[in-house]
Amino acid sequence: MRLTWLIEPVDQIWDGAKVALEDANWLASRGHQVTVLSRSAAPTWLQLHCQFRQVTNFRPANLPAGDVLIGTHWLLIPFIANAGAGRGMPVHFCQGYEGDFPGNAQLCDRIEAAYRLPRVRHIATSKNLAQQLRQHFGIEARTVPFVVNHSVHFPAPSRPIKDPLRVGLFGPWQMTWKDIRTGIEACKLVGRAGLEIQLVRVTNTQPERQELLLPFPVEWHERVAPQAMGDIYRSLDIFLGTSSGIEEGPFLPAAEAMACGVPCVLTDAPCFRAFGEGQFAMFVPPQDHAAMAEALVVAGRIDEVRTALREAGIAVAQNFTQQAHGINLEQALLAIALEGRNCPRAIVREQAIATESPHDSEAGDPAAPARTTPATPATIAAAIHVGDTEQLEQKLMQTLLAAVDSLLSHSEIARASRCYAAARCLQGTSTPAGSGTWPDHQNADHESILKKLEALAAAGINDPGLHNQCGQLLHECGRHADAVKAFRAAIAAGSNNAGAYNDLGVALFESGDTTGARANFERALVLEPDYQDATDNLRDIKGFSKA
């Protein structure tokens, strides 16, 4: 793919730019043509392995031709939305909803207008952030897990309890939702209780006057290069996360601290709870400095608590790998590119199917059992070029579906689901929405097809075509109540057309819900007044009701 990232600024160290630039590097390493554009100078704190261009503005004349155009801030959404043909499908890479930031109250109308721009696709870096976008705007954002660089952030041997207690507090004072003020008040309270403490402050801004004159020593780190952060984390006894509201996106320093084996005290905020289940940190109410102080003492001075938090934090952090994040991001971008028809057929390469690098599999371990290689096509796009006919697209789709069958037979559900998603993107260009993905399903064993579809749905594929095909097969098998659920899932996933509501109406009628059936036939006719099937069904159901 040809990917263009708009990132600002990149000459300063901040988490949002760090994540986006590392993603750009990873995608370039996968063979994609990646360009980063910024109005700032190139970063000196991170080596780029992709193209970089400093531009005066983001008008279309300064944007290269591409398949996907990615903006990383609300101010950049209008530029990607209005870039015009040939610049790529517009994608907003969302790491936090700016409309909830207290300092943006005067800008809220503009921020909301940017998020509502049509045609823009959204990728969120956490489930709670995707939920915010759904609640605010009805946006169904693709979610990718965020990433911890485990080559930098790894645990050192457990630190013995000693004085002073080194407490890490990260983030700029100026961002009110990070609530550094409450964290400092908690440390003051710990000091007044007689515990010797040293605060370790890491920030990418100048310290404020209020945090300079403190009754305990402060170790300052400003604008630290990412490669140096691991050593700072491993020097800590406790990491204190003080974010106070829903406006905080995924708070990367807390995950990095856990990866380094540092026990964490965190506010009970969505950005931290989204890390996972269980007691991987001591959670305290936001803006409660007394509760924070008590938790710092317990986590810093009780050996059993420290050990439990350390082990649980390390386990949680292992979920945030570059490979998992990168593959999810790559597949989301590929699906969006294909959806927009801005993506040349030649980009659907072997990596779109074999998304798992051989270096990440068990093959590198001589003691591991040999892995069975599924019979997936090795060169499905080698001879496919821009401008090929529908016949070649159909051939490619059939090849992808063959790969789905093969991968499912080897229980490789996640990889099968990615092939299925790619096949559905292709199908959408040449096949009526809602028709069966496996063309021969009318003559196939319905139960075997259902098992395939249910396995894909369980792997997280929320595709209207998949749910619709499940509904059709369940209906043909006489499982009308299950068919109702499948047709409703298809509508919820985006199948908002007359045919979808008519199908749901038929299933409801056959499961005994005449009122629900009538409502859905009427809804189908609102969407398409001349839809004959819904007209006939509504007439028949009215006659049935009178009888």
Q: Which residue has the tokens 């993107």?
A: 425
Work out the number of other CB atoms within 10 angstroms of the CB of residue 510. 15
CA atoms of 258 and 150, how far apart (whole Å): 11
CA atoms of 204 and 224, how far apart (whole Å): 8
**Shortest CA distance to 493 belongs to which of 473, 400, 485?**
485
Phi then psi for 266, rounded to 5 degrees? -130, 150
pLDDT of residue 427: 56
Ordered DSSP codes for 311-355: HHHHHHHTT--HHHHHHHHHHHHHHHHHHHT-S-GGG--HHHH--
Q: Which two tokens stand for residue 39?
A: 């109005």
Q: How crowded is the C-beta side of 519, counted as CA atoms within 13 Å?
A: 5
CA atoms of 236 and 202, how far apart (whole Å): 12
- Helix/strand/coil for 158: coil
The conformation of residue 159, written as its DSSP 8-state character, comes to P
Domains of the chain, each with CATH number or no CATH: 2-143 (3.40.50.2000), 165-317 (3.40.50.2000)
pLDDT of residue 226: 81
pLDDT of residue 264: 95
The conformation of residue 251, written as its DSSP 8-state character, comes to -
CA atoms of 522 and 518, how far apart (whole Å): 6
CA atoms of 495 and 490, how far apart (whole Å): 6
> Is the distance from CB of 203 to CB of 171 less than 8 angstroms?
yes
* Averaged pLDDT, groups of 10, the chain, 547 residues long: 92 83 93 94 91 93 94 93 89 86 77 89 87 88 86 89 92 84 94 92 85 90 87 95 74 90 91 82 93 93 92 90 86 86 40 37 36 36 40 67 77 74 56 41 63 75 77 85 88 80 91 87 85 87 60
CA atoms of 11 and 182, how far apart (whole Å): 30
pLDDT of residue 13: 77
- Helix/strand/coil for 476: helix
CA 194 to chain centre: 44
CA atoms of 156 and 232, how far apart (whole Å): 11
**Shortest CA distance to 17 belongs to which of 26, 6, 31?**
6
Cα dist from 21 to 339, 343, 530, whole Å: 25, 22, 51
Q: Which two tokens stand for residue 477?
A: 């098998």
Amino acid residing at 361: S
Q: How crowded is the C-beta side of 524, counted as CA atoms within 13 Å?
A: 24
Residues 6+ apart with CB under 8 A from 108: 99
The conformation of residue 364, written as its DSSP 8-state character, comes to G
DSSP H or E segment with residue 121 = strand 121-124
CA atoms of 351 and 241, how far apart (whole Å): 38
pLDDT of residue 447: 76
Phi then psi for 470, rounded to 5 degrees? -55, -45
pLDDT of residue 341: 55
CA atoms of 374 and 360, how far apart (whole Å): 16
Q: Which two tokens stand for residue 173?
A: 């004072």
Q: Which two tokens stand for residue 167?
A: 């407490």
**Shortest CA distance to 290 belongs to which of 201, 190, 171?**
190
pLDDT of residue 102: 62
CA 454 to chain centre: 23
pLDDT of residue 544: 60
> Is the distance from CB of 476 to CB of 503 less than 8 angstroms?
no
How far separated are the first and last CA of the chain, in Å rounded?
60
Q: Which two tokens stand for residue 115?
A: 């998020």
CA atoms of 399 and 426, how far apart (whole Å): 11
- Helix/strand/coil for 412: coil
Where would I find the H helices in 124-226? 127-137, 180-192
pLDDT of residue 373: 37
Cα dist from 374 to 204, 295, 378, whole Å: 48, 51, 11
DSSP H or E segment with residue 124 = strand 121-124
**Shortest CA distance to 32 belongs to which of 332, 334, 359, 320?**
334
Amino acid residing at 289: H
